[in-house]
Structures are given as structure tokens and as C-alpha cells.
Amino acid sequence: MKDALRSALAASALTLAFCSPSMAQEPIKIGFVGTLSGPTAAVGQEQLDGFKLFLDANGGKLGGVPIELLQEDSQMKPDTARQVVRSLVEREKVPIITGVSFSNEMLAIHKYITDKEVFLVGSNAGPSQIAGKQCSPYQFITSWQGDQAAEAVGQYAQEKGLKNIVVLAPNYQAGKDIVQGFKRYYKEPLADEIYTALTQLDFSAEISQVVAAQPDAVFAFFPGGLGVAFAKQYAQAGLMDKIPLLSTFVTDALSLPAIGDSALGIISGGFWAPDFDNAQSRKFVEAFEAKYKRIPSNYAAQSYDAALLLDSAIAKVNGNVEDKKAFMAALKAADFDSVRGDFSFGNNGFPVQGMHVMEVVKDAQGRLNLKTIATPFKKYQDAYHEQCEL
């Protein structure tokens, strides 16, 4: 009888142990949507690698809660992005979606996600519409609004007294936003404004237009593989030493090895560079290089920040992301140490942050890298936040 009672008590204790909150915590599903194939796949892969770097280092948990990360390739196609997001929300019941590589995809899925009251922690695309009138309390963007880096370069060009600049960008929302951002602070008349097809890799005709214009400088935005193709063709045309190249996201850790030494001296704008001297950035760069054997880009850095943000917010609500009001407040607080240093959210769910200018140099190890040379804006909020009613 005593043996039977002892066995029953032991079984009850075991049952209670497995029913404790820590043991019973169901994994939180997070959907990652990014461009993981095609000529710009490196952007989405870098976002994914940055997010997983933090997640893997924390035993697959965020905020102490197990995470089930569901990865989807949006292929840089709005229709595909809509399909995979609908599947994540309706079939998988994800409460959080992160990633989103390009503005055309973001504009295709943003309203659907936020109308469903799914939290959107975007780690790249930042089109002007969602920073302004189409903002949502369910969006938290850990990258930048599309104009901001170009605004910093425009201010830099203005201060350097450069005249007669030709600008080039792909013909889609981010390209248009970035050109608008450059013109917002660069007040001189442009020599020309050239838009190319989003998947175009041959820029010989556009480079001929640049030569004909005889500008003081060129400002170009071409992400991922587009930037590699443009910069290499620009160098092959013998223009690097003749017409300075200013850029946003043409030169980064993804493109520099492919462009080679001809990239030396290119000027770029952005919110972060691998030479940032703060503890979180140094930790991130060291861990990324150790795991992936390459220098991290801004795409990885801003996605790492997305993981840090979620880690903080999930911990604040003890894993109960279904308490939408509390989780929204926890995300809004942005209570984490960003790789970029100062970080807070503006009223529209976009970062208030510094914007910097970098130059391509050789680092101490002889690698092509970015060196921060100026900070035109500190604690800077995007140009569209006043249109957001939040």
C-alpha cells in the first residue's frame, strides 16, 4: 500500500513538474520573409544570418522563450510575398513577422499584416508611405526610412561644394525615396536623374549618359547584386578616378569583395558601419565574423537589432505576445542596446538615429571595409513622421 502511495505521489510530482510555466511554454512562431533567391538574394540572406546569429547564440530562444522560426522566400516579387505572408498568418498563425527585404514587397504586404494585428518587425524595407500616412501601431522598423541615408550623403555633397551631380537608382519605391532624400539636402541643380529597371545588370547605356554629362560627381543607389554590377562597370569605364562616386548601399560587406580594390574611395551613407566603437557593435561584428567568416553588412546589423528588440519585448511580457497592448508597449520601449548606439522609436515606428557617411578603405587586416568619416545627422527622425497620426 505504501509502495502504491509512493508511486502515485511520484507520478503526481512528475506531472506537476511538466506542467510548470517554464516547461509548458509553447514556442512562439515567428515568420521570416525575405528575398532569398535571384540577383538580390544576398540581401535577404544577410538579414536572415543576422537574425539567426542572435537567436542561435541564445539557444533558439528570445526573451527566454523557445522560438520556431519559419523562413519564406519572397523572391523580390510582391505577389509571392503576399502568398507566403497569407500562409504564415492564416495557416501557421504567426503573431510576428520579421525581415522584408524590398519596398515593393513591403507595400504589397504591410496593410494585410497590420490589419490582421500581426506585429511587423521589419529589418530592411522602409518605404515613405508606411513612415507617413500608412503607418500602423503594429509596425516596428529596425532599419531606416528609405530617404535617410541619402539625406546624409546629400548634406555631405552640399557641404563639399559638389556641383552638377548625376543621380541613378532603380525604378521602384525605394529608388524614388532615396533620390528624393538626396535632393532634400543637396540643393544644387542635378545634371541628370536616371532610373533603371529593378533587375537590370547592364549599365553601359547609363554610364555613357554619365560621361556625356561631365558631372562633378555621381550619386547612385543599387542594392545587392545590382550595386556590384554597377560599381564594377563604373570602374571598368575608367570613371572611379575621374568622377567621384557617392552612394547608398552600393558598397557594403556584401559587395566590396566582388567589386575589389576599384571600390577604394567610394563614399556611402548609412546608419551603421563595422568600425562603430560601442560594446554591442563590437560583440556583433566579432560573433558574425567567427560564425560566417565574413564582415557583416548593415543588413545583418539591422536584423540583429530586430532580434535584440524582440528578445527584450518578449521578456517584458513573459512570453505572452497575445497580450497585444502589453507587447506593443514593450516593443515601443526599445529597451535594448543597439549595434548603432542610440536607438529609439519615433511616433511612426521608425528609428530615431544618427546617419553617417563612410568611405571605402583597407582595414587593419588589409580587407576592403567602411570607415566612418562624418555624421551629418544625430538622433535624426525621418521626413515623413509628421504625416503619421500615431
Number of domains in the chain: 2
Question: What pLDDT, on a 0 to 100 scale, did the predictor assign at position 24?
Answer: 53
Q: How far apart are CA 281 and CA 342, in angstroms?
A: 12
**Local mean pLDDT, 10-residue blocks, the chain (390 residues):** 46 42 74 94 96 98 98 97 98 98 96 98 96 98 94 97 96 91 96 94 97 96 88 95 93 91 94 96 98 96 98 98 98 98 96 97 96 96 97
Residue pLDDT, tens place only, 57-101: 999 999 999 999 999 999 999 999 999 999 999 999 999 999 999
Does residue 181 lie in a domain region?
Answer: yes
Does residue 76 lie in a domain region?
Answer: yes
My answer on whether 114 and 233 are in the same domain is no
Q: 10 Å Cβ neighbour count for 368? A: 21
pTM for the full predicted model: 0.89
My answer on whether 236 and 267 are in the same domain is yes
Return the C-alpha cell found at 81: 510575398
Does residue 340 lie in a domain region?
Answer: yes
My answer on whether 112 and 163 are in the same domain is no
My answer on whether 225 and 253 are in the same domain is yes
The residues, ordered by sequence, that sit 6+ positions from 340 with a Cβ below 8 Å of its Cβ are 271, 272, 276, 281, 301, 305, 353, 354
* Interior angle at CA 152, CA 286 and CA 54, nearest 5: 25
Q: Do residues 331 and 234 lie in contact, with contact meaning Cβ atoms separated by under 8 Å?
A: no
Q: Do residues 344 and 351 lie in contact, with contact meaning Cβ atoms separated by under 8 Å?
A: yes
- CATH code (residue 245): 3.40.50.2300
Does residue 3 lie in a domain region?
Answer: no
Q: How far apart are CA 278 and CA 81, in angstroms?
A: 36
- CA distance to 155, 319, 357, per residue, from 62 (Å): 39, 9, 33
Does residue 343 lie in a domain region?
Answer: yes
Does residue 19 lie in a domain region?
Answer: no
My answer on whether 138 and 286 are in the same domain is yes
Q: What is the 3-state secondary structure (H, E, C) of the chain?
A: CHHHHHHHHHHHHHHHHHCCHHHHCCCEEEEEEECCCCCCHHHHHHHHHHHHHHHHHCCCEECCEEEEEEEEECCCCHHHHHHHHHHHHHHCCCCEEEECCCHHHHHHHHHHHHHCCCEEEECCCCCHHHHCCCCCCCECCCCCCCCHHHHHHHHHHHHCCCCCCEEEEECCHHHHHHHHHHHHHCCCCCCEEEEECCCCCCCHHHHHHHHHHCCCCEEEECCCHHHHHHHHHHHHCCCCCCCCEEEECCCCCCCHHHHCHHHCCCEEEECCCCCCCCHHHHHHHHHHHHHHCCCCCHHHHHHHHHHHHHHHHHHHCCCCCCCHHHHHHHHHHCCCCECCECCEECCCCCEEEEEEEEEEEECCCCCEEEEEEEEEEEEECCCCHHHCCC
Domain boundaries, position 291 = 25-146+276-353
My answer on whether 173 and 58 are in the same domain is no
My answer on whether 255 and 374 are in the same domain is yes
My answer on whether 132 and 158 are in the same domain is no
My answer on whether 198 and 187 are in the same domain is yes
Does residue 316 lie in a domain region?
Answer: yes
Cell 564582415 belongs to which residue? 295
Q: How far apart are CA 200 and CA 230, in angstroms?
A: 10
When computed from its CA atoms, the radius of gyration of the chain, rounded to whole angstroms, is: 23
Q: How far apart are CA 79 and CA 77, in angstroms?
A: 6
My answer on whether 105 and 140 are in the same domain is yes
Q: How far apart are CA 196 and CA 175, in angstroms?
A: 9
Cell 532603380 belongs to which residue? 170
Q: How far apart are CA 253 and CA 273, in angstroms?
A: 9
Does residue 6 lie in a domain region?
Answer: no
My answer on whether 37 and 170 are in the same domain is no
Q: Do residues 316 and 333 lie in contact, with contact meaning Cβ atoms separated by under 8 Å?
A: yes
My answer on whether 236 and 371 are in the same domain is yes
